[in-house]
Structure 1
Amino acid sequence: MSVFHRLPSEARAALDLEKGERVLTFAAADEGHVVATDLALHLPGGVRVPYEEIDRASWDEHGLLTVVTTKQRRHHARVPEPRNVPEALRERVNATIVVSKHVDLPGRGGVRLVARRKPGGDVVGWTFLYDEGLDPEDPGLRALAEQALEGVRRSMGV
């Protein structure tokens, strides 16, 4: 029997899967289920977060899952027994990263440049993750980061 069919019926009914999307693993949450598929993490309340949009995820000692997207949106779910979800989540997010390189910005600190792709697809974009204390809205800082990105793209062929 597939993992999808082992999901409780209410969890199956709540999933909005893309055509061909496969369930890898799941765990019960306080308000539904957390489901890891081959393309995205599905959270209670119908929240679907594609892996290429996840910057980081963590569980605390109370079973609270926190997912932070590349646009700094935060999602939470309490998952008392996460089963295999953390491993699947880590593997799938890491598989989306094509390049991750920290670059120093002259006299300013630095920025991590991250190229991501959809699972099995082409690069969908670059994310700028600035060092703590730097203002990502600063146009001068953004211009330096864009220059650094062009250098990384040339050197890595991405």
Structure 2
Amino acid sequence: MFNLFSRRRRLPADRRPALEPAERVLDWARVADGEEVVVVTDRGLWLPGETARLGWHEVHKAIWSGRDLAVTPAELVEERPGYRVVADGPVRTYLLVDPGDVPHQVRARVTRSVAYTAHHRVPGGGGVRIAARQVRGVDGLTWTVRYDPGTPAGDPRVVATTDDLVTAARTGTDPLL
């Protein structure tokens, strides 16, 4: 369905997710294997089979193959003072029929949510990616870390180094490593 004046496709009412009062639909696309849709809003991504929106700050990675949209959410592993430890959640892949502007909107909004990102080596082997993201409705930045596979994340030296790296990033100073 198209709106004659704006030329934007209008999301069918029966496919509209439970939006917050001021949340706006930016674009949407049908998923090939049914009547489900992927909906892009100014606040996040509504995926088929989910009852809640995935906020832009919760999307770790999104890849567009030209026909499939693969979304990797960040899942909370641990809360530490001043930051959260996250890991990749299961990749969710959707074959989009007439994707419209959905891939572009997803990429732009995920990228726009990232205010800072840096990767560092840590003691004992492995590394950590530190990121600061803008979260709608939250003052300041939300800090997260994601350890590379095989990194001993619970090692006290790794935790101490990570704490120092996040503190340095938050204060705008050079990292210690």
Instruction: Tell me the TM-score range normalised by the shorter chain.
Output: 0.7 to 0.9
The aligned counterpart of 1:76 is 92
Residue 23 of structure 2 corresponds to residue 7 of structure 1 = no
Counterpart of 2:13 in structure 1: which amino acid? S
> In structure 2, what is the Cα distance between the partners aligned to 1:66 and 1:76?
6
Please say if residues 97 and 115 of structure 1, whose CA atoms lie closer than 8 Å, have aligned partners that are also in contact.
yes
Structure ranking higher in helix proportion: 1
Q: What is the number of equivalent residue pairs in this alignment?
A: 153
Measured on the aligned residues, the alpha-carbon RMSD in Å equals: 2.5
Residue 71 of structure 2 corresponds to residue 67 of structure 1 = yes
Segments of structure 1 that go 5 or more residues without pairing to the other structure are none
Residue 111 of structure 2 corresponds to residue 94 of structure 1 = yes
1:108-143 deviation digits (Å, cap 9, x = unpaired): 332111011124753352111223421333343222
Counterpart of 1:58 in structure 2: which amino acid? I
Query: With structure 2 as the length reference, what TM-score do the two structures score?
Result: 0.74
The aligned counterpart of 2:57 is 52
Segments of structure 2 that go 5 or more residues without pairing to the other structure are 76-87
Q: Return 27-36 or 108-117, whichever deviates more.
A: 108-117
1:3/1:24 CA distance change after superposition, 3 Å: farther
Residue 67 of structure 2 corresponds to residue 37 of structure 1 = no
Please say if residues 70 and 127 of structure 1, whose CA atoms lie closer than 8 Å, have aligned partners that are also in contact.
no
1:3/1:74 CA distance change after superposition, 3 Å: farther
